[in-house]
Structure 1
Amino acid sequence: MRRSGKDLRTRIHYLGLGAAAGMLIMAGLVGSTAQGQGSLPLQGSGFVAGDGADPDSITSGAGSHWNVLNWGPGAPAAVPASYSINKVDGTGRTTRKILVSTQSNPDVASAASEVNLSTSEDSGLTFLHTERDQPATALNMTRMPDGSLLQIDFIPEWNAEHTGVDLLVRTSTDDGEHWKLQRAPVAMPEDHQLGPTPNGLRVHRRVLVLPGGTLIVPAYGTFVGERTSSSFVLQSSDGGETWSLRSVIPTADLGGSNEVGWTFTADNRLLAVLRGTVGGSPELFRSVSEDNGRTWTTARKLIGPDGAVLHGIYPDLVLQPNGTLLLATGRPDVRVLTSNDGTGEHWDSARTIFANYPSTGNNGRYDGTSGNTSMENVGAGRSIIFYDQCHVWGCGAYDEQFGVSASYVAAVTPGVGLIDVASKLIDKSASVSGSFAAPDRRFPEQRPAAAFDGSSAVGSEAVLVPRGSRPGTMVLKLDRSYPINRIGLMLGHGDAESADVAVSADGSNWKTVNRVRDRQDRAMRYTDVTASDVGYLKITGAKDRPTKITELQLYAAGIDTFENELPFAVPRGWTDAEHAWVTDVAADPAYSEFGGDHSRTALRLWDKWTDDNARITRPSPATDHQRASMSLGQTDTRAPLTIGVRGTAGGKPVTAWNFRLKAGTGSAPQQLEVNNGTGWVGLGALDEAIPLRTYRPVSIDATTDRATITIGSQTFETTTTMNAADQLAGLTFSTDEPAGYGGIYYLDNLSITG
């Protein structure tokens, strides 16, 4: 559809927010979906609503968007690249320090790089510090075995004799605050001499450190005697001081290739996605190596979820700790694809994250965002994608107002009962003990709690060490017993590791549920177990060497913990949501959210309307006797909270029981009421008011003719039904009548059983 300049101005200035905000609005208008607008979407964006996804499936989506930088007209910043390392914050939680570099130079081969570097110390939530004219770009950066950083410039230099190329390699021993430059010569074999590419080649992207310390990095250029460019791999066995050709990725009759995005996959192969060289929106190719990049399969065209060849540029790949694989690309627009099994053999979903092209005529379709993107992992199933709002050649429609934005992208695995062990360790409601390696000053994030921190990065592990003839062990004591039915485990980083996993109700009697032998993990692998009450979990490592527990997850059967959900989405397994979704922000007295019950996330009902309410339903299998338990919190009780027990009568849905928790007068405790089908009847007042920003246990034990509700330690019984029912089948939560205003309630750890 053709859009006129008037249409564009209308879209941008519809809300009086200016060009940059208008571009974000257009993301929703052009190619995004209502899901994932975040807890504070721009005015005009749709709130998430409706039904959540299947709780037993892998689900992908996108979340909030925010700015890394957003400068005024005429200050260029485009083509983001990123790198991150783990740190430990003041609370004891593992966070990511993220470096995002952008370019201010013209986009021509002869232009020298002009780099802006933005830094986040809180996993990408804020970028409080940006410096211009920085020496290092985040495009080709890695953490070395000694904890230092190594970075390679995108553009090398010819050596003094103009007979070969020197990579510009920088190292930092203070996490990127200061850099030391050295020239590192590249030795190319006679049959692969560098040809007409200015300065010989381009380095792109992400340096990998192999076991033993060998460095490998993709590059591209045109060899002497060839007409098209090739993608190849450089290697260094001396810490980056010298480099040589390791391999060339063959493309056969597909034509030339250049930019490479790569990662290890869930099956421990090295996957490379290559940008073809034909067309304004070239095809993407894929190739796989099973020997750490020494040899490669002949590249073939990458097929998207729709069965068509995928077009794009600047590919980037992230294997998330939960085993799902993300691919970011652009041009057209900014897109993310998900490979559910983490292999990249096939792609299961695709999503447009951002689109703001000003026209569809000729090259106008590729103005606006350049499609150059980068991703960093920030959780077991969550990453951040960085993208520019426009490039130097495509920002005229927006008065040369540049900016770089960020959005959550996520893919979550089956199971809604993930236990937030990391938060419980921090608040000391859970504990971990065992025989661990001494602290490593190179990697301060390496510690017992690292096994639960959501990161699969090298250095972020719990390392078990043998004691004499006894193998290393780790014992987790949970805050209470849970019906554990699923365990995720990642050992090491692609090297062979072995361990036994056992569970116990009392810490004395153990049952082994998983034996791992010489397994090479790049992400967690999941084991389903028969649900049983588990208060303790033990991992026993090898007797003759340290064992790295990189990541460990525990899932409880039949409990909604909201920890394994898409960001700010309707939770999986829930239906008919309106103004109710998962909230996942740190507790802060500056706003209403205060996390979950000994966890990070909760389900929030948010009512700030006088013509609508907040509501959501959790269906459950029909039964004659339904028992439910949950944690309930609140920060605004002006609108009451209702809890309806769903049921059926003659096969038709009804509300069998309906309870209402209503604010008392003044400072008086809340009142509990029950609906008799025509109105509300008082059951009594709470003994004491529920403090704001505090969770209280709530349970409902109901049959079709009698119900008991317990809030804290206080119990109320009733036989007053709202409607007669044959069976009971779930719960509905709401903020009562639409005319009510100001109800903000939080639910966590919901369990419904028959």
Structure 2
Amino acid sequence: MPRPTRNRLSNVVSGLVGFTAAVVLLATNLGPDGGDVDRAADLPSGAENPLPAGDGPDPDAYSVGVGPEWNVLNWGPGPRAAVPSTFAMDTVVAGVTEQKVLVTTGANDDVAGADQVLNLSTSLDSAVSFLITERNAPVSALNMIRLEDGSLLSVDFIPEWTDSTQTAVNLLVRRSRDDGATWQVSRAPFTPPPGKVLGPMNRGLRVHREPMLLADGTIVQPAYTAYRGEPGSSIILQSTDGGASWTQRGQIPATAPGTNEVGWSYTTEGDLIAVLRTAESPPRLRVSRSADDGVTWTPAVPLLGPDGQQVVGIYPGVVLQPNGVLLLSTGRPDDRLYVSRDGTGRTWDEEQSVLVKYPSETGNGRYDGSSGNTSLVNVDSDRTVYIGDYCHVWGCKAYDEQYGVFASYVHAVTPGTGRIDLETKIHNGTASVTGTFVKRPNLRFPEQRPEGAFDGSSRPHAAAVLEARRGAPSMTIELDREYALDRIGLMLGSGQPLDATVSLSVDGTTWSEPVVVAEGTRDHAMRYTDIEPQQARYVRVTGAAGVTTPVTELELYAAGVDTFENDPLYGIPRGFVDSKNTTVSDQELGGSDSSSALRLWDKFLDDNAVATTVTPDADHQMTSFSFATNDYRGPFTFAVNGRDGDQATQPWRFRLVPGTTAQPAQTLEVSDGSAWTALGRLTTPIALNTWVPISVDTSADEATVTIGGQAFTTTTTAAPADVLSGVTFTTGDPIAYGMTFLIDDLAIH
């Protein structure tokens, strides 16, 4: 979830890998065209620079970034931990929605007859840190679900035979009514369809994975088995009595060699997609769809990657992000991510490597790094945590039996760079939400609250629920200032048909005609509507009269402002060019109304950080941004770019020079192209970790820089220019050492 500050990440140990020679982490932040980013640019000293250099992705296209990795657990040699599975649920901590994330890992032998031996690692802060790990845990996260009464239910991967005839099984069902602190186990019979007889598989079937709860209370759950006389197949179990007994709801058609493991999700089209592992060597992935919540399925067909070839892999995991991007994880060989940008899963547009690690090219050595068993869990509208392992029980000998489980961020963002951070603004009180909400708080699901519409979660109860005794229920967001809104994302409910409209207002009194009209939509993710830019400070969502309307998610985008909220973290911002040592960051933003910003970082004696954005040619350019620093040992330089004929120039160059101990306030200087001249000293110094507004109003012959309300005007230019066309931010001029500068809410017009 977005949080007012992200400082906790700085306490997480990144780069848990102890296998340096064998590990390659591909952490690129590439747009659909591949971008132009070099994350391994060598410094003149020969040290490897981990920061990116080049151009950022296209701001008007989808973009995916794979970020740093950190520990879920990483014991010393010996204790086993492999094959991770995950479960997450919404919680509210200090007024902010967080994910409680459970990760279980196996410690048993990898043979069909072995009982599961589990480790359970728990995060209370959306998978940022896992401070608790329980050995020999009683429950697995593989098949876990939260029911309508708030209780948790988990079904064991391996059932048990009902009796010595070995023709029927009981599923081992575990329940917790205290958020997982304690569990009670029961045996729930599974009854196959008439004429179906469980075949030769040890203990009949395997339950795999990620149950769902339908609107009528039915629990549906994938599994795989081999009925006598049939190839192995993937089936859907169902329970209509809260898990006390189970029957088969559907069977996914499969031909030889058959299928087994299932990853599934709803799509943006409202149907279910199931990705299946085939029972062949090497295993491949196939895909099937259901339009009736898993009763009937299309024949499974090869799942094709971006190269048009059937994807090789195991243990597929599928999640639909709240922003409508569908993600697929798989492994063996390597840990990989596939992206369906439109959320339908009909095409897979992009492949990303997450972990490449293996000791040899021969035989099974190609798989002796990661086991290839991976999991995905959403923690924000555009942020997913990818969880994998470093080796399985048959592959860890190359690494001295040192097992490990890692987590890595995946950011898959939609087009647009002006997303407003509603959650942080409302949490800080600079924006507000009012309305006709359901009166009684939901004690079982505290995430159901007005702020639930902005918390980045698409789970059913993480919503603002509108309800009115008379007339149409509504909610109104008052923003911190007026914006030119041009894009709106809206998700209503979680699959049920609902109606709503969105209208805009400058003064909160006079309202526009609806700019968004949802009629009978069955949403599983946000739907985006692009509009002509319209000035607004107030946004109203109105439901249908007499209908309780959950507003699950709402996003607002502003034209002409780069908020860095819809950029993949850890890479060059979208739309920036010729940049280096500059990334989008969600760290060190205390006191901000924004969870992400552009960060220039300079710890180089012979290099600096640069970020450039290009805008259309203009005779007059107004640039505004927010600026902050937490390490001010050298100058902050900002330049307005332009052209003199066909020659690129920088007609206006300014720098803020740190103050001394005796004179703490910074000095603003201007360059004439060869030397710097002081324009004046700030009357109020820019304190560390404090945001200040800066504007730069420029024409061909005059410029005014305003810092926190203090204006400086000059006619001193650094170079001639016919037109103005963008801005460049740098650390140091000349090159200095030790600076960290943050830029946010950048607008150029």
Question: TM-score per shorter chain, which class?
Answer: over 0.9
Asked if 2 retains the 8 angstrom alpha-carbon contact of 1:488 and 1:527, the reply is yes
Correspondence for 2:732 among 733, 736, 742: 736
> Within 1, Cα distance between the matches of 2:341 and 2:291?
20
Q: How many residues align?
A: 722
Letter in 1 for 2:392: H
> Within 2, Cα distance between the matches of 1:220 and 1:658?
66
1:490 match: 491
Q: Which runs of 5+ in 2 are unaligned?
A: 1-12, 31-36
Q: 1:702-726 deviations in whole A, cap 9, x for unaligned?
A: 0011101100110000000000000
> Within 2, Cα distance between the matches of 1:427 and 1:739?
37
Q: Using the aligned pairs only, state the percent identity.
A: 49
Asked if 1 retains the 8 angstrom alpha-carbon contact of 2:28 and 2:571, the reply is no
1:296 match: 297
2:159 match: 156
Asked if 2 retains the 8 angstrom alpha-carbon contact of 1:610 and 1:738, the reply is no
Q: Which runs of 4+ in 1 moved over 6 A?
A: 34-39
2:100 match: 97
> How many Å apart are 1:737 and its aligned residue?
3.2
> Within 1, Cα distance between the matches of 2:730 and 2:662?
23
2:467 match: 465
* Mean Cα deviation higher: 737-746 or 57-66: 737-746
Correspondence for 1:627 among 615, 622, 642: 622
1:382 match: 383
* Mean Cα deviation higher: 693-702 or 661-670: 661-670
TM-score (norm 1): 0.94
Aligned counterparts, 1:107-118, within 5 A: 107-118=110-121
Asked if 2 retains the 8 angstrom alpha-carbon contact of 1:643 and 1:734, the reply is yes
Correspondence for 1:269 among 265, 268, 271: 271
1:451 match: 453
Structure-2 change in CA distance of 1:341 and 1:667 (3 Å): farther
> Within 1, Cα distance between the matches of 2:500 and 2:744?
33
> How many Å apart are 1:37 and its aligned residue?
11
Correspondence for 2:144 among 137, 141, 144: 141
Asked if 2 retains the 8 angstrom alpha-carbon contact of 1:274 and 1:315, the reply is yes
> Within 1, Cα distance between the matches of 2:353 and 2:655?
42
Aligned counterparts, 1:177-196, within 5 A: 177-196=181-200
> Within 1, Cα distance between the matches of 2:331 and 2:38?
20
Letter in 2 for 1:728: L
SS in 1 for 2:695: strand
Q: CA RMSD in A?
A: 1.8
Correspondence for 1:608 among 603, 623, 626: 603
> How many Å apart are 1:694 and its aligned residue?
0.6
Structure-2 change in CA distance of 1:325 and 1:674 (3 Å): same
Q: Which runs of 5+ in 1 are unaligned?
A: 1-16, 586-592
Letter in 1 for 2:660: T
1:747 match: 743
Q: 1:493-525 deviations in whole A, cap 9, x for unaligned?
A: 111010011010100010121111111011000
> Within 2, Cα distance between the matches of 1:221 and 1:32?
38
> How many Å apart are 1:44 and its aligned residue?
4.2
1:358 match: 359
SS in 1 for 2:398: helix
> Within 2, Cα distance between the matches of 1:38 and 1:82?
30
> Within 2, Cα distance between the matches of 1:738 and 1:613?
9
> Within 1, Cα distance between the matches of 2:457 and 2:486?
22
Q: 1:343-368 deviations in whole A, cap 9, x for unaligned?
A: 00000100110011101011111111
Aligned counterparts, 1:522-561, within 5 A: 522-561=524-563
> How many Å apart are 1:33 and its aligned residue?
4.1
Aligned counterparts, 1:191-210, within 5 A: 191-210=195-214
Structure-2 change in CA distance of 1:709 and 1:434 (3 Å): same
> Within 2, Cα distance between the matches of 1:628 and 1:24?
44
Letter in 2 for 1:324: V
SS in 2 for 1:191: coil
SS in 1 for 2:425: helix
> Within 1, Cα distance between the matches of 2:695 and 2:658?
19
Correspondence for 2:515 among 513, 524, 536: 513
Letter in 1 for 2:61: S
Correspondence for 1:666 among 642, 661, 669: 661
> How many Å apart are 1:190 and its aligned residue?
3.0
1:70 match: 74
SS in 1 for 2:336: strand
SS in 2 for 1:379: coil
2:310 match: 309
> How many Å apart are 1:247 and its aligned residue?
1.1
SS in 2 for 1:397: helix
Q: 1:633-682 deviations in whole A, cap 9, x for unaligned?
A: 11111110001000000122100100010012214210000000111011
SS in 2 for 1:559: coil
> Within 2, Cα distance between the matches of 1:709 and 1:672?
9
Aligned counterparts, 1:1-20, within 5 A: none
TM-score (norm 2): 0.94
Asked if 1 retains the 8 angstrom alpha-carbon contact of 2:38 and 2:53, the reply is no
Structure-2 change in CA distance of 1:460 and 1:643 (3 Å): same
Q: 1:614-645 deviations in whole A, cap 9, x for unaligned?
A: 11101111100000111111111111000100
Q: 1:279-330 deviations in whole A, cap 9, x for unaligned?
A: 0x31100000000000000000000001111010000001000000000000
> How many Å apart are 1:60 and its aligned residue?
1.0
Asked if 1 retains the 8 angstrom alpha-carbon contact of 2:642 and 2:651, the reply is yes
> How many Å apart are 1:26 and its aligned residue?
4.1
> How many Å apart are 1:179 and its aligned residue?
0.7
1:126 match: 129
- Asked if residue 246 in structure 1 is aligned to residue 245 in structure 2, the reply is no
Correspondence for 2:60 among 56, 62, 71: 56
Structure-2 change in CA distance of 1:368 and 1:133 (3 Å): same
Letter in 1 for 2:56: G
- Asked if residue 260 in structure 1 is aligned to residue 262 in structure 2, the reply is yes
Letter in 1 for 2:202: P
> Within 2, Cα distance between the matches of 1:141 and 1:478?
38
- Asked if residue 708 in structure 1 is aligned to residue 711 in structure 2, the reply is no
> Within 1, Cα distance between the matches of 2:56 and 2:305?
24
> Within 2, Cα distance between the matches of 1:303 and 1:596?
46
* Mean Cα deviation higher: 552-561 or 634-643: 634-643
Asked if 1 retains the 8 angstrom alpha-carbon contact of 2:485 and 2:533, the reply is yes
1:479 match: 480
1:167 match: 171
> How many Å apart are 1:160 and its aligned residue?
3.2
Letter in 2 for 1:742: G
> How many Å apart are 1:28 and its aligned residue?
2.7
> How many Å apart are 1:240 and its aligned residue?
0.6
